């Protein structure tokens, strides 16, 4: 994973922060080439299942809000699939000194479905040093909400949160 330079957007609360994520949420990886292809295959199968599920929901007359939430989740998943599928083909590899170059002469750094997903939204809402009296962590730097994510991750998260909040109205039995 490459962590690039922070570009402040809104004070100390919001930065554009370039990160290439090799795995899935929060930088978790399955490990090696087999893990990467297993994750990519799972994503594609899940997206196909998502299309099937949405068409089933529409035919059954499901709550429109629920259909929108599932569509948000599917759209986010497809965004991450496209990033993983094509980013490695279209960009050079990044390192600590250089951000990836678009359409390099030597070609991209990874074959189809082996690319990284680019995350760039960073909201360190609280960035402070904990007081010495705090057990185990006293005197250490503390950042609340450290994950760096992208628009696709946001769509997935928003879809899931709305389903959880409105589940009673989405799944009302008549």
Residue 119 annotated among the catalytic residues of the structure:
yes
Q: 12, 33, 83, 153: which one is catalytic?
A: 153
- Write the DSSP symbol of residue 131: -
The closest of 30, 19, 24 to 43, measured between CA atoms, is 24
And the tokens for 89? 């083909």
Residue 127 annotated among the catalytic residues of the structure:
no
The closest of 10, 36, 19, 42 to 99, measured between CA atoms, is 19
CA distance 173 to 169: 9
Q: 6, 33, 83, 119: which one is catalytic?
A: 119
**What is the rounded (10 degree) CA torsion for 122, 126, 127, 131?**
-160
List active site positions. Answer: 119, 153
């Amino acid at each position: 994973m490459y962590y690039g330079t922070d570009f402040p957007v809104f004070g100390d609360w919001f930065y554009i922060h370039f990160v290439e994520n090799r795995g899935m949420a929060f930088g978790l990886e399955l490990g090696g080439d087999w893990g990467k292809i297993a994750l990519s295959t799972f994503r594609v199968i899940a997206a196909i299942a998502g299309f099937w599920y949405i068409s089933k929901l529409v035919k059954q007359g499901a709550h429109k809000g629920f259909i929108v939430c599932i569509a948000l989740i599917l759209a986010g998943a497809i965004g991450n699939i496209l990033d993983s599928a094509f980013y490695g083909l279209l960009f050079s590899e990044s390192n600590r000194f250089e951000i990836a170059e678009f359409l390099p002469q030597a070609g991209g750094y990874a074959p189809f479905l082996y690319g990284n997903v680019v995350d760039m939204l960073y909201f360190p809402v609280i960035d402070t040093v904990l007081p010495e009296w705090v057990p185990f962590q006293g005197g250490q730097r503390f950042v609340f909400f450290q994950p760096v994510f992208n628009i696709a991750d946001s769509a997935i998260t928003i879809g899931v949160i709305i389903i959880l909040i409105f589940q009673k109205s989405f799944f009302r039995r008549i």
